Structure 1
């Protein structure tokens, strides 16, 4: 193998220098570690297109919870359990009125005929003092019409063991009625003292609220 001369060594050195200068002038590609890391570093975000559904405590979605309810719930009526007892003050006595019905009051509609029975008696006061019922009246009110359902103008003993008992027949009302109010009135004559045959008057009032089911117009 021939030995390199000084001229050939100088030429090789010149070629190497030129290659080094060319490599120094080139731009190396920018290689990142991860596309996700690069996005985070530049402050860009990736939009999450998955819809968010809010869930209520009962498991229903927010859309379901906001849906309007249909119909109006029927309130509890005075005779839904079948009977009711009221105790009303009348001076130093009380008038106790028992109401009851054999029908199903919670299912009554405006068109239904309704029957309500009642019995009244007196408690307290002087047992020897006479108490008389001189007028009993019952009226109905369905929100549009007020009518006299019953009236009794006799003189009936109300002292124990006697009581005043009657039945009220209530016909159907306007189809738009949502409730029926039954008001009762007792006009009493109370003896001023036992055997005096002198009396003073007392009036006792009470009312029953009977909500009505709404019939389907279809």
Structure 2
């Protein structure tokens, strides 16, 4: 069987022209999307970014700024400062005994008070007694006190309380005794000291009436309590 004969040349040209026209019409019907109205990347970034607001320090202080800020202030705190604790005193129990060496002898000084020493405050007057006697040494030698002095020391000033001069027998069994009146001290004084001095003449040999000098010193500290009604000081921070 023979294959069909090819179409004539004119018909082929007509078919080719028709195909070209159909393709052109198809392209004109398919329109590309309009991208001229699409926002650019920069515009998108600007649009999506939140609007930033700022206010000056003056605006924030006056409250006219656009941003609300809470101003927090720390309230002043007050701390109570405890009053100093009164240290124990030697006369808290009513009496105290000191022994001071003087050569081959000892001078024994007994201190006491009939008042309540734990309640003493700086602003009141106090009363203190003392009695001194000798122990040891040769009892046949004469011993004399030629001067006894007592001085009050409050840490700022020294005040003479007693200045007793003479020739007072001091060998056993003779003691030396006196009473001291301690005046009020300035407000705020925490303690005072009583400084006493005994100036002695000691015979060199029994009956010789020749003497040598000895000085004996002693100190008693009197601590004070806070005045009645006083409150601890306060410190504000």
Shorter-chain TM-score category?
A: 0.5 to 0.7
Alpha carbons of structure 1 residues 112 and 68: separation in structure 2 relative to 1, 3 Å:
closer
Question: Does residue 129 in structure 1 map to residue 138 in structure 2?
Answer: no
Among 100, 103, 113, the residue aligned to 1:101 = 113
Question: Does residue 81 in structure 1 map to residue 58 in structure 2?
Answer: no
Question: Does residue 175 in structure 1 map to residue 190 in structure 2?
Answer: no
1:36-73 deviations in Å (ceiling 9; x for gaps): xxxxxxxxxxxxxxxxxxxxxxxxxxxxxxx9872221
Q: Distance in 2 between matches of 1:159 and 1:73?
A: 42
Q: Distance in 1 between matches of 2:155 and 2:105?
A: 33
RMSD of the TM alignment (CA)? 1.5
Aligned to 2:212: 200
What are structure 2's unaligned runs of at least 5 residues?
A: 1-78, 232-237
**Which residues of 2 match residues 1-218 of structure 1 at below 5 A?**
70-215=82-227, 216-217=229-230
Q: Distance in 2 between matches of 1:112 and 1:171?
A: 7
Q: Distance in 2 between matches of 1:145 and 1:212?
A: 17
Q: Distance in 1 between matches of 2:224 and 2:156?
A: 14
Deviation, structure 1 residue 150: 0.8
TM-score computed with the length of structure 2 as normaliser: 0.62
Q: Distance in 2 between matches of 1:68 and 1:171?
A: 31
1:151-179 deviations in Å (ceiling 9; x for gaps): 10011001111000100011111112110
Deviation, structure 1 residue 217: 4.6
Aligned to 1:38: none
SS of corresponding position for 2:118: helix
1:173-193 deviations in Å (ceiling 9; x for gaps): 111211011100000000011
SS of corresponding position for 1:106: helix
SS of corresponding position for 2:166: coil
1:3-45 deviations in Å (ceiling 9; x for gaps): xxxxxxxxxxxxxxxxxxxxxxxxxxxxxxxxxxxxxxxxxxx
Q: Which has the higher Rg, Structure 1 or Structure 2?
A: 2
Q: Distance in 1 between matches of 2:114 and 2:152?
A: 19
